[in-house]
Chain A
Amino acid sequence: MTESVITTDAVTVTAVDKVFEAAAGQVVALSGIDLTVEPGEFVSLIGPSGCGKSTLLRLIADLDTPSSGSVEVFGTSAHQARVDQKYGIAFQQAGLLPWRSVAANIALPLELHGSSSVETRERVAELIALVGLDDFGDRYPDELSGGMQQRVAIARALAKKPELLLMDEPFGALDEMTREYMQTELLRISAETGAAVVFVTHSIPEAVYLSDRVVVMSPRPGRIAAVVPMALGSTASRADDLREDGAFFEMITAVREALHGGAPASSARGVENR
């Protein structure tokens, strides 16, 4: 285990607090957060609304700064990691630019950082193939279904070959069938790219299906209640049949109980049990 000290963690969050100044006074969004994500690891953040899971993701992305504590990404500050484009990000809304074709949307981060047009074209073709959107490169976002738009957003997040992918409920707006399909696609893509993923969700089965570890958070103030390792084999080897496996349901139960502070769950408020 001594070698593991040498490798740099993908994400290291140390003693982070986040306090928002509101008109009615201070709101403690996060309190005493410690978390590490190893390279190539898939970690889900789950918890009811208001537990600060999205806030934590935004701190890692340097879209917001912690009130105290530190956030490091691959051994540098979160700010430096953003400047160096160490991560790719996808939100609940695909957030595609409506005036750009699928290919041009995926190319955006490459264009912004001065890749040559030949490089860009080759990389975009790779990414379009990776997310299974061949023949759709010339289409515009308004011509795509929600699932397809989200795939474009994932391709765009992967454009700069980041070793860290940050995802904030990316499948939250999709219907259940599309969602399950996209989950399996994401497992394939993360296995192919080898990127670490921090994935915010409020769906227990989604977190269990995708993750190496599920970080269970509780609200007011946002804290980490438990970290549940998923004993389900490597994420790369998982497929849809896992959803009907007994071990899968055991893990769902484990996460659900963690959400309720160890007690057997009656009903999880604000958390989807589907």
Chain B
Amino acid sequence: MTQAATVARAPSRRPRTAPPASRARARAWGFGALGLAALAAFWELYKLLGPADGLVIGEVRVLPRTSDLAMPHIWETAGRLFEPVTRAEGARVLWLEVAIAASLTLGIAAAGWIVGVTVGLLLALVMQRWRLAESAALPWIILSQTVPLIAFAPVVKSWGSRIEIGAFEWQDWMSVAVIASYLAFFPVAVGALKGFQSPDRLHLELLRSYSVGWWQTMRYLRLPAAVPYLLPALRLAAANAVVGAVVAEVSTGLQGGIGRLVIQYAGQASGDPAKAWAPILGAIALGLIAAGSVALMGALARNYRRTEDAS
């Protein structure tokens, strides 16, 4: 056995049976576009062929109405985006109005995400450190997600309005961010805990042989090993934060965000059905942007995901 022979074996591990990354990515985008096109085609096909009043069995409408009021044509919805919001002089173009509202909501959701991720990580750290904390806290964390969001949004708002510390005054948007963080912390707490517990005995004993403490084991082993668990958790947290922010805007009545716009335009749907769909599209775009930003973070953490690729 020569050294050269050992070395020669190394490159043979590199090529994978999967197509190269660039082609795989192009295919993913292609299928994504195809899915969207199929959805649009289905919408229009049902609108064309479905009964105008939908299908009612007994008292229950099992298929929606296909009138222009209920289901505007795709192109009408798209075209409406480029018309002014109202007929008033100097009104903004609809898509811009939606984008402005969406960016406000995105900001609030991001604040909620940061708070939620911080709280989730801290909870996971405490639960990893003390077994007792895990048995004590984990059931409550899981239970916390069964509280209906709409029910306690007004409570958060009224509690918040009583907070006033010196120059600091509680703002309405903060209530929304708190509710967003309430939905965001959960996947992070659970995912991070699972990740922190993921290193195998071999690695833990190796660190033990180095005679290092809990904190260094966390920093050098548990935290990096948790990255493959954390990334999906962070992505889920981002999507949850957006949903939480939109719903909380509606139930606390916060002005200026996309949640408010959904309600407002829905009220105008009888006169302008295509307009009501604009903030819904905006909310979808928000979710995509939020999840996409986390995916970008995942690309930066590539080296910590090598075991993911290998398996």
Q: B-contacting residues of A (Cβ < 8 Å)?
A: 61, 63, 82-83, 85, 87, 89, 91, 93, 95, 97-99, 108-109, 111-113, 132, 136, 139-145, 147-148, 177-178, 180-181
Residue in A111, A112, A113, A145 whose beta carbon sits within 8 Å of that of B9 in the complex: A145
Is the C-beta of B206 less than 8 angstroms from some C-beta in chain A?
Answer: yes
- On chain A, the residues within 8 Å of B211 by CB distance are 82-83, 85
A241 to B296, CA, bound (A): 56
A177 to chain B, nearest CB (A): 4
Q: A-contacting residues of B (Cβ < 8 Å)?
A: 1-3, 5-7, 9-10, 13-14, 202-203, 205-206, 208-212, 216, 220-221, 224, 227, 303-304, 306-307, 309-310
Given contacts A140-B306, A142-B310, A181-B1, contact A97 B221 (CB under 8 A): yes
- On chain B, the residues within 8 Å of A87 by CB distance are 209
A-B pairs under 8 A by CB, number? 75
- On chain B, the residues within 8 Å of A95 by CB distance are 202-203, 206
A84 to chain B, nearest CB (A): 8
Q: Across the interface, do B13 and A142 meet the contact criterion of CB distance under 8 Å?
A: yes
A112 to B213, CA, bound (A): 10
- On chain B, the residues within 8 Å of A82 by CB distance are 208-209, 211
A139 to B9, CA, bound (A): 14
Q: Across the interface, do B202 and A112 meet the contact criterion of CB distance under 8 Å?
A: no
Residue in A140, A148, A177, A180 whose beta carbon sits within 8 Å of that of B303 in the complex: A140
Residue of B nearest to A141 (CB): B306
- On chain A, the residues within 8 Å of B310 by CB distance are 98, 142
Q: Across the interface, do B14 and A143 meet the contact criterion of CB distance under 8 Å?
A: yes
Q: Across the interface, do B13 and A63 meet the contact criterion of CB distance under 8 Å?
A: no
A141 to B10, CA, bound (A): 10
Which 9 A/B pairs are nearest by Cβ-Cβ distance? A181-B1, A145-B9, A177-B1, A99-B304, A95-B202, A98-B306, A83-B211, A147-B6, A98-B307
- On chain B, the residues within 8 Å of A144 by CB distance are 10, 13
- On chain B, the residues within 8 Å of A109 by CB distance are 210
Q: Across the interface, do B203 and A148 meet the contact criterion of CB distance under 8 Å?
A: no
Q: Across the interface, do B224 and A97 meet the contact criterion of CB distance under 8 Å?
A: yes
- On chain B, the residues within 8 Å of A113 by CB distance are 210
Residue in A89, A97, A136, A140 whose beta carbon sits within 8 Å of that of B203 in the complex: A97
B162 to chain A, nearest CB (A): 47
- On chain B, the residues within 8 Å of A181 by CB distance are 1-3, 6
- On chain B, the residues within 8 Å of A61 by CB distance are 209
Residue in A97, A112, A136, A141 whose beta carbon sits within 8 Å of that of B216 in the complex: A112
- On chain A, the residues within 8 Å of B206 by CB distance are 89, 91, 95
Q: Across the interface, do B3 and A132 meet the contact criterion of CB distance under 8 Å?
A: yes
Could you list 18 A-B pairs, sorted by A, with CB under 8 Å? A82-B209, A82-B211, A85-B211, A91-B202, A99-B304, A112-B210, A112-B220, A113-B210, A139-B10, A142-B306, A142-B310, A145-B6, A145-B10, A148-B7, A148-B10, A178-B1, A178-B6, A180-B1
Q: Across the interface, do A99 and B224 meet the contact criterion of CB distance under 8 Å?
A: yes
Given contacts A143-B10, A145-B6, A145-B10, contact A99 B306 (CB under 8 A): yes
A29 to B221, CA, bound (A): 30
Q: Across the interface, do A93 and B209 meet the contact criterion of CB distance under 8 Å?
A: no
A68 to B1, CA, bound (A): 44
Q: Across the interface, do A89 and B209 meet the contact criterion of CB distance under 8 Å?
A: yes
Residue of A nearest to B7 (CB): A148
Residue of A nearest to B208 (CB): A63
- On chain A, the residues within 8 Å of B205 by CB distance are 63, 91
- On chain A, the residues within 8 Å of B7 by CB distance are 148
